[in-house]
Structure 1
């Protein structure tokens, strides 16, 4: 699926710190924990707890966030629709990675089992 250039630029410039509180609120409202959210982020990116906190403090953009990440080799197994986009069909790599994270957070909030969210890892 093709996203617009403006959409991709907006994704790149958005800061992880500005979105993180929304992720946390979303999962906690559904009875999940901060630790579970961090486990999902760590699985996708390879970041540890300290690195996640540092990236929030630095207010890095999603572009920088994913440049520094070591994307999980099983990330391509993340499929489905999030925000009206089928993640496996998004052509822009950065936008796809942001939507991978959105999809994982959504699955966590919907109560999926952690082993399913982490694609069997």
Structure 2
């Protein structure tokens, strides 16, 4: 056996051979669809495009009547990824997560007795 499992690429061919050999009595209905739209040939994913981290803030400056919208750009370090981590989805980070983490670090007793929304 080779390194890659190519059975998905040969599913139409396998079904046609099973019909010829008499293992199945009817050709599957998806045979024509797989002929028109064959399975993907790409066995390896491309590296993901890395976007800059942009934070949008609303700041009120002293003496200004309206708050200003400020965009902060954070440069992200490019780290080489292991091949085993390449196929995992990228982690989504929200500002609320940072606020929640900071809050519970400052107020650890809030975790001692979690409150229900109805209280």
TM-score under structure 2 normalisation? 0.23
Q: Taking CA–CA contacts closer than 8 Å with sequence separation of 6 or more, which of the two structures ends up with the larger relative contact order?
A: 1
TM-score under structure 1 normalisation? 0.22
Greater C-alpha radius of gyration: 2
